[in-house]
Amino acid sequence: MSQLRLGRFEIAREVGRGAMGRVFLAHDPRLDRPVAIKVLELAGSMPAAERGETLQRFLREARAAAKLHHPGIVTIYDAGEEQDKPYIAMEYIEGVGLDRFTRAPELLAVEQVVDVGIQACAALDYAHRSGLVHRDVKPANLMLVLGRTLKITDFGLAKHPEASLTSDGTLIGTPNYMSPEQIAGKKLDGRSDLFSLGVVLYELLAGQRPFQGDTISAVMYRILNEEPPPLHGLNPSVPRAVSDVVHQALCKNPDQRHSSGAEMSLALRSALPESVFVSPTGARDAVTSSRALPPAAAQADRRRNATFFGVLGSVAAAGVIASAVLLQSLLDGAGGSAGRTGFFSSQQGTQRAVPPAGAQRPVSSNGMGMMADRGAGKQVSAAGGGPGEPASRQLGGARRRTSGRDGGAGGAGGGAPVRAIHVTTDPPGSQLLLDGVLIDSDILRLELARGPRKVRAVKGCRSAETIVDPAVAPDELPLKLEPVRGIEVPVRSVPEGALITVKGGASGGKTPDLIRVDPCAGAVVTLSLDGHQPASISIPADLDPDAVRRLVSPVTLVRLPDGRVVFEPKGFPLEVREDGRKIGMAGDELTLPAGHRRVLLVNDDMFLRFPIEVTVEPGKSLRIDPPLPEMGKLSVQAYPSNCRVFASRKGELRNRFLDEVPMLDRPLAPGAYRLRVEYSPTGEIQEKSITIEPGRSTLVPFRFGA
């Protein structure tokens, strides 16, 4: 590309290249700011229909992403076409892709991973409520700016519910991070992005992907059919609560995942309740705390902040990465040179360190963001606020998000008309959620222009929910919490097929299944599977229903070592069968899974069927002398003697050939039989009912032609 301008933008240099496009650093002379320009270069050999679809998808990217205005999402500025080359101008940011931290020794601390997960949930929740699904959430599309603030890039695959550009079933996205429903070509919603985010968080915490394979098809098979290894088993420093949140995001069934980004964000916060998390300003549903941090907590907070920036500051200083909202599938295709960072290429010779403690941090380039230096107690915000505000107003207290718009005790930004409503709960001390986002104040400050909002109060197993219209609601909003009774809880195990027993609830058969539990009463759920250590899960009384679901599923059962069993031989052939399948013979050393087993000892010629229950101990050998009944003997005589003898057990329809007469002392299992003797020359048949007694001989005569 020879020209130095694209529309009104002045091209500075190329910063990324792929199989079908390039990214340039440019200058916008109208607004005097740097921008990133993505240019789509359609191959001349591409079929016309494919060119048209690719161009539509590219332009759709601009239309979809331009609707999103959130500090956690890269902003689209403009789009156009120059000499048959479509392009998009977008926010230029400097940061580090999370793919830098997916393998040891570069793994981030657990708190840092949870922190970026919470920020990603907030940005995705905003996009989903705007009607868009990202469809390609992966580490390379999640950028850390100034070492800690997260921005999501590449909303080029964003899908509006009415869009249908892939009617031929073409998969759009990165297979390693696709949800099961995306692989299956089903209709997607925001829960698909939460699955992909779960894969990202798993990889950042474990140092490996949850679904691995040598080929794309192998990876897809595992995503559709297999459970990932327990996260806390791969990295013992990951708390069980964090592991549970990530595993819930990885559920195959979207209904078993978190219902929204806001709900997953709340779950991550609850998993590390003592941590302090970044709060991206400008999120519409974020909430400002009305309580300041106590001196001891503020001092600890400053220490954590210094440690965090000390770790990531060296990474940020090592290289600056340019990013934009980009269609990754267009640029990191075959032969693409963007590498693991996609379009985010290191700028050679450029060093930029994280500002030292006490220095002001710049406002983000979209004019909406906020960076707070907690150590210095200062902040700079395009939406308001300043150096004099306390740390709690900058950070939402010890563990809440902040907002310049509405929600808690913070003021509404931009002069928008607001309504203050005081919420009281019975019992007091309940947690409040506004549109699914946890708030840290009993004062709701709601923008009138946004209309009705959903307010929910939760305390243990009790909850109350209502819709509040700020235009007509009273100044006082009382909420009486009622117990939640009889919730359905999905129970899954790895492997599946475990027997579910519930003390304090109804059993649910075998996994996977639903059980009904009273969260106010609690319960004990036990999963049992042959060859595995039983697992018991204690559900405390008065627990939040969402916490009950996280606690129960999924459960990994530990396989026990196999045991060995030998059945003593009895002087005649004796098969050993289990579940209708032959597993060996008496006298063989049989390897069986540990646990209680029911086998059948069989000799068809003697009509012997002897069931026996065995307890196989893990790692041990057992010799069993089965207490078989004593056999009886049958003799048959016929005149004339040219006859054949058949027999069947009582209740059986099939006759089995025994011998020709004379038949002498044939061993048979005790019991009732029906004898059938056929005279061969004429075909004449005679039948008799007999009983074989243990240890005794029975003689049965027949006479034909009399």
Just list the catalytic residues.
136
Picking from 111, 58, 402, the residue whose alpha carbon sits closest to that of residue 272 is: 111
- The C-alpha atoms of residue 340 and residue 101 are separated, in whole angstroms, by 11
Picking from 371, 332, 434, the residue whose alpha carbon sits closest to that of residue 97 is: 332
Torsion over CA of 349, 350, 351 and 352, rounded to 10 degrees? 180
Cα–Cα distance list, 595 to 60, 510, 560, 586, 615 (Å): 59, 17, 9, 20, 6
| Helix locations, 28-163, DSSP H | 48-66, 110-129
Picking from 549, 559, 561, the residue whose alpha carbon sits closest to that of residue 492 is: 549
Per-residue tokens: 200: 């990202």
- The C-alpha atoms of residue 360 and residue 306 are separated, in whole angstroms, by 15
- The C-alpha atoms of residue 666 and residue 637 are separated, in whole angstroms, by 12
Element (H, E) at 494: strand 493-494
- β-sheet with 535-539: strand ranges across: 499-503, 523-528, 535-539
* CA quadruple 47, 49, 53, 58: dihedral sign: positive
- The C-alpha atoms of residue 259 and residue 254 are separated, in whole angstroms, by 8
Picking from 76, 107, 75, 98, the residue whose alpha carbon sits closest to that of residue 150 is: 98
- The C-alpha atoms of residue 698 and residue 647 are separated, in whole angstroms, by 14
Residue type, 213: G
Contact 640, 679 (CB under 8 A): yes
* CA quadruple 152, 156, 162, 166: dihedral sign: negative
DSSP state of 352: -
Contact 426, 480 (CB under 8 A): yes
The position carrying tokens 């950028």 is 143
Torsion over CA of 370, 431, 549 and 186, rounded to 10 degrees? -50
- β-sheet with 595-603: strand ranges across: 581-585, 575-578, 595-603, 608-616
- The C-alpha atoms of residue 618 and residue 486 are separated, in whole angstroms, by 38
Per-residue tokens: 357: 């403690």
Q: Is 602 exposed, middle or buried (0-12, 13-18, 19+ CB in 10 A)?
A: middle
Picking from 441, 144, 357, 119, the residue whose alpha carbon sits closest to that of residue 372 is: 357
**Max alpha carbon distance in the chain (Å)?**
123
Indicate the SS3 state at residue 608.
strand
| Residues constituting the chain | 706
Residue 41: Cβ within 10 Å count: 17
